[in-house]
Structure 1
Amino acid sequence: MPKSLKSEQVRRRTTSDPLAAAMLPPANESPIDRENRLQAEQQARRVSEKIDEELRQERKNLNKSRPEVSVLLLGQSESGKSTTLKQFQLLHTPAAFHAERIAWRAVIYLNLVKSVIRILDALAPEQEAVEDHEEADTAEADLVIISADGRPPSAIQGTRVPNYDSYRHKLEPLVELGEKLTRLLSSPDEEEPTHLGPTWGNYVSQLVGTENQPPMLNGRARPAPTIVIPPKKQTHASLHQSNGFRFRGEKEVVVHTTTNWKKTFALGGNSKSPKSAHSGEIEGWWEDPDDPVHALNACAPAMMELWRDRNVRKRLKEKKIRLEETSGFYLDEIPRITAKKYIPTDADVLKARLKTMGVIEHTFSIPHGLNRGVEWRIYDVGGARNQRQAWAPYFEDVNAIIFLAPISAFDQHLTEDPRVNRLEDSLLLWKAVVSNKLLANVNIVLFLNKIDLLQSKLEAGVRLNKHMNFYGDRPNDYDSVSKYFRNKFGAIHVSYTPNKERELYIHLTAVTDTRRTSIIIADVRDIIIKGNLRNMRLV
């Protein structure tokens, strides 16, 4: 095609667009006019870019001036911090919470498997159980109640379960399934998730003395998320030593906050994606022969038979093992949980137990009311003894603390140190927090948590003064005990706080109860905002 003809066609196509035609240079433009035009266009671009930069800076300054409230969730391991964070997410970012529910399927499966294996461990013949006691999982420590005579639960003689060998044979596939789920979920560098921390004296001095430590990094920066499946460190045969059902060398599953396990187990990760964004029809994991649901579903009848066996229940009672009082308890819902097309509910996710290492941060804002325009940052930090040193960097900038004390744990001991009563640990930890000078002007809200479990224990006849002598001969009913703990924690705050004007807000909670907890959270939000404004001398 001749060059002149091609140029004419391009010009014709260009001039068919009015805007493009207006931007074309004049047909008879001289070299001087062209130079002037290009300089004017360059100057216009500089002005436009300057305006854009000023707008970006203005938005940046606006974001910096936006009020922000930082809340720290504190308390010992399994006090309910992660559940409280989930409740904040469910209340303020429900769409994101619901989108993540499917990812919790693997965690819930593992919780169920570990409960079943814990029962089989408890049913093992006495000579094997006594032999195993010294090397038993520290993870089971929170499941076992301290016996009055101090004997290990495995050493207690009691009911024999005639069907034990049958249960063991039928449920043997759960060992491999549990191992597989553990490798998928646990952090690769965490061979022994629950380490013994420093001695109590060292720990308290570390925590109370944090005001003398130099400033540390903010802690908000996170390494790029990754998930690594650790290699098998044991043969299948090694798992069958003794009673054959304990995860030897595997303690409680731990996930670092840098591990993006939710993405791995979410739809679109290893799972299949929905066929249609409109219908939500899922081309499901149940069609994948390697999915854990198949092994779990096949074992469901035997699991139900085991849990409904009266001799099994009697044996657990004799050993003072109350699985119903632990997080991650799904034994009453085996048919639903093991269904091939099971999708976790909100309640399932709230109950799920997955220990985290590091700090989980959740950010949200509320578009209305007293909290309008405020950005909230909620931090959930690990509560195990070896993680409590990580609290210090957050003390300087925190506006409020929600401290969780599980008052139902008066007859249990720490996973990290079986010599320490869990409630006594909460009282000492509470004293260390309220006496810290860095936190003198920080609003503190106390959740006396797991009151539902406390009430059921007391109604079952468990006496508080058998485990905590200082309770004396006071009545052993729920009202008296809960009032006693409210006063006990309150008195510690009055005695040790460096700020005598600070108000303490105490709530009796069961944070797995969504309705009641959402009301409490709304009240706590307003309390924190008012306290923050008061500290800024704005009210």
Structure 2
Amino acid sequence: MFSFDDSEDPIAAAIAPPENESPQERQLRILKEHTAKQVSDGIDEEITRERQQAKRESKPVKILLLGQSESGKSTTLKNFQLMCEPKTFRAERASWRAIIQFNMIRSVCVILDALARDLNPTDLPPSPHSSWSSRDSLHPDADLLALHARLLPLLQIEDVLAQRLAGPDAHNVPDSALTSTHLPMTTRRRPGKEVAVNSTVAWKSAFMRKPTGHESFDTQNVVDWDDPDDPGAALHAHSDDIRRLWGHPMVRQILARQGIRLQEQPGFFLDEIEAVTAPRYVPTDDHILRARLKTLGVSEHRMRLADPNGSITRQFHIFDVGGQRSMRPKWVPYFDDVDAIIFLSPISAFDQVLVEDHRVNRLADSLELWTSIVSNKLLEDTNMILFLNKVDIMQSKLASGIQLVDYCPAYGRRPNDFDSASRFLKKQFSAILKQSSPAPRIFYCPLTNVIDTKSTTYVLAGIKANLMHFNLKESYLIM
């Protein structure tokens, strides 16, 4: 029979009292052991409490925001934050102030590039949507030439902001360096790609300073008004010239000839020059919603939301997933255990092409992407919510005479008005859901303009209530 000798036990030997231990040493050893046991017991109790708390709390509601790039995903997320976490919005105003100023400077730079291209067609590549050629060139007058020269310093400010956003290790900062030339309107500037920040980089802290202990947390306190690289002073100094540039009739003609529609681009603020270039400008909620900052990667946002009666709260995990073509294969890992997908289709883009591939129409790409999502068997039990977004821009396009049938032949001879067009597109997406979904689903499809805070709040409040009810029912917390 197997016997065990305690004298051979290494653990027993390690914890045994030392030989010739004095009474004082024994008392000190027992005190230390008692203290260590209290600490160990406290850790065990904390682990037990956390496990019990996790059991009491139902699982969080997981939502994915999907859609092609510039479909409105980030703006939808900001609407969720504005509705559910207004204090977070207040804390981030200083950071979004810099983004909005950056958006305005980029719009000015687009105009400067267009003017340089018009004067010297071979100096810069054509814009992607342009059928313009050198024969169509308009020759800017002396006033426009002078405006162009005075606004050139904004190109350097654009570079400074881009570097602060992207960080010192970034490789996507546009090449905006100026070189001397005898041509009065040639910047010799190669328009770069849109600046993007990684979702894991804390870019917001780059434009804020921490208030001192004696200051209340207010946007006026966290903006570093004395920062020598702050663009506010330069924008204010150039505000009159920016206003004259944007209001110049020849600028509108040159942009139209080159197929550039600034008003339809995200981050357009040239209609609010006076507000954005004010000396101590602080953005409104509406400005933050309209601000454009391209992010790479997947960002997760956690919010605790209450049910309509305020009696039960649930944790919502909202994932903003990049919509670029290169990012789409990376969506699949996030499909696991997802409760709802909010898919955004910018129907105003029916006459546009993908930035990644100018051969692909954006509306056609959106329909194809919707098909791949609703037909995915991993998402068979997932709620699908479709936003037909940017309806305000679509209304404007159709009213201006742009024909939907020219880009979507299936539209046929239907009237070229918004009501007819939106009904047709809603039926197209609905038919895809019925034909491709592995299981029957309810088709929830609001027409949205996610930069309109009031209307979007109603839509998101309805989504929040329905998802909370669905998940509480699944958890048997309600019948």
What's the counterpart of residue 255 of structure 1?
197
Answer yes or no: is 1:366 the counterpart of 2:308.
Answer: no
> Per the alignment, in what secondary structure is the counterpart of residue 466 of structure 2?
helix
Deviation (angstroms), 1:446? 0.4
> Per the alignment, in what secondary structure is the counterpart of residue 107 of structure 1?
helix
Answer yes or no: is 1:79 the counterpart of 2:21.
Answer: no
Q: Return the letter of the residue paired with 2:303.
A: F
> Gapped runs of 5+ residues in structure 2?
1-21
Structure 2: how far apart are the matches of 1:446 and 1:259?
A: 30
> Per the alignment, in what secondary structure is the counterpart of residue 360 of structure 2?
coil
Query: Which deviates more, 38-47 or 76-85?
Result: 38-47
Answer yes or no: is 1:89 the counterpart of 2:91.
Answer: no
Q: Return the letter of the residue paired with 2:136.
A: Q
What's the counterpart of residue 195 of structure 1?
none
Deviation (angstroms), 1:183? 1.3
Deviation (angstroms), 1:244? 4.1
- CA pair 496-531 structure 1, distance change in 2 beyond 3 A: farther
- CA pair 34-166 structure 1, distance change in 2 beyond 3 A: closer
Q: Write out aligned runs for 1:275-354 (5 A).
A: 276-277=215-216, 282=221, 285-354=224-293
> Gapped runs of 5+ residues in structure 1?
1-30, 145-150, 193-229
Deviation (angstroms), 1:360? 1.1
Structure 2: how far apart are the matches of 1:156 and 1:376?
A: 56
Structure 2: how far apart are the matches of 1:293 and 1:47?
A: 57
Query: How many equivalent pairs are there?
Result: 454
- CA pair 128-185 structure 1, distance change in 2 beyond 3 A: same
Answer yes or no: is 1:525 the counterpart of 2:464.
Answer: yes
Query: Which deviates more, 153-162 or 277-286?
Result: 277-286
- CA pair 457-37 structure 1, distance change in 2 beyond 3 A: same
> Per the alignment, in what secondary structure is the counterpart of residue 69 of structure 2?
coil
Deviation (angstroms), 1:326? 1.4
Deviation (angstroms), 1:41? 9.9
Q: Write out aligned runs for 1:464-479 (5 A).
A: 464-479=404-419
Deviation (angstroms), 1:471? 0.9
Q: Write out aligned runs for 1:452-491 (5 A).
A: 452-491=392-431
Q: Return the letter of the residue paired with 2:464.
A: R
Structure 1: how far apart are the matches of 2:181 and 2:464?
A: 49
What's the counterpart of residue 103 of structure 2?
111
- Given that residues 239 and 247 in structure 1 are in contact (C-alpha distance below 8 angstroms), is that contact kept between their aligned partners in structure 2? no
Query: Which deviates more, 61-70 or 44-53?
Result: 44-53
- CA pair 487-283 structure 1, distance change in 2 beyond 3 A: closer
Q: With the length of structure 2 as denominator, give the TM-score of the two structures.
A: 0.85
> Which of residues 326, 336, 352 in structure 2 aligns to 1:386?
326
Answer yes or no: is 1:376 the counterpart of 2:376.
Answer: no
Q: Return the letter of the residue paired with 1:168.
A: H
> Per the alignment, in what secondary structure is the counterpart of residue 444 of structure 2?
strand
Q: Return the letter of the residue paired with 2:131.
A: P
Q: Write out aligned runs for 1:128-527 (5 A).
A: 128-129=120-121, 131-133=123-125, 141=128, 144=129, 152-153=131-132, 157=136, 159-162=138-141, 163-186=143-166, 191-192=171-172, 235-237=177-179, 244-245=186-187, 248=190, 250-268=192-210, 276-277=215-216, 282=221, 285-369=224-308, 372-499=312-439, 501-527=440-466
Query: Which deviates more, 67-76 or 241-250?
Result: 241-250
Deviation (angstroms), 1:317? 3.0
Structure 2: how far apart are the matches of 1:183 and 1:44?
A: 53
What's the counterpart of residue 51 of structure 2?
60
Structure 2: how far apart are the matches of 1:70 and 1:267?
A: 33
Deviation (angstroms), 1:381? 0.7
**Over residues 21-48 of structure 1, what are the superposed CA-to-partner deviations in whole Å (9 max), with x where a residue is unaligned?**
xxxxxxxxxx999989996996598468
Q: With the length of structure 1 as denominator, give the TM-score of the two structures.
A: 0.76
Q: Return the letter of the residue paired with 2:206.
A: T
Q: Write out aligned runs for 1:1-40 (5 A).
A: none
Q: Return the letter of the residue paired with 1:490.
A: S
Structure 2: how far apart are the matches of 1:426 and 1:187?
A: 32
> Per the alignment, in what secondary structure is the counterpart of residue 129 of structure 1?
coil
Q: Return the letter of the residue paired with 1:465.
A: V
- Given that residues 207 and 223 in structure 2 are in contact (C-alpha distance below 8 angstroms), is that contact kept between their aligned partners in structure 1? no
Query: Which deviates more, 410-419 or 364-373?
Result: 364-373
**Over residues 185-240 of structure 1, what are the superposed CA-to-partner deviations in whole Å (9 max), with x where a residue is unaligned?**
12556535xxxxxxxxxxxxxxxxxxxxxxxxxxxxxxxxxxxxx8x977532899
> Per the alignment, in what secondary structure is the counterpart of residue 344 of structure 1?
coil
- CA pair 189-390 structure 1, distance change in 2 beyond 3 A: farther
- CA pair 389-155 structure 1, distance change in 2 beyond 3 A: farther
Deviation (angstroms), 1:49? 5.2
- CA pair 483-246 structure 1, distance change in 2 beyond 3 A: farther
- Given that residues 267 and 274 in structure 1 are in contact (C-alpha distance below 8 angstroms), is that contact kept between their aligned partners in structure 2? no
Structure 2: how far apart are the matches of 1:242 and 1:357?
A: 38
**Over residues 97-133 of structure 1, what are the superposed CA-to-partner deviations in whole Å (9 max), with x where a residue is unaligned?**
1110111122111111111111122233546235522
What's the counterpart of residue 25 of structure 1?
none
Deviation (angstroms), 1:435? 0.7
Q: Return the letter of the residue paired with 1:80.
A: G
Identity %: 40
Structure 2: how far apart are the matches of 1:35 and 1:356?
A: 62
- CA pair 320-369 structure 1, distance change in 2 beyond 3 A: same
Relative contact order, higher structure (CA 8 A, sep 6+): 1
CA RMSD of superposed structures (Å): 3.1
Structure 2: how far apart are the matches of 1:455 and 1:415?
A: 23
> Per the alignment, in what secondary structure is the counterpart of residue 504 of structure 1?
coil
- Given that residues 66 and 373 in structure 1 are in contact (C-alpha distance below 8 angstroms), is that contact kept between their aligned partners in structure 2? no
- CA pair 64-238 structure 1, distance change in 2 beyond 3 A: farther
> Per the alignment, in what secondary structure is the counterpart of residue 311 of structure 1?
helix
Structure 1: how far apart are the matches of 2:362 and 2:185?
A: 29
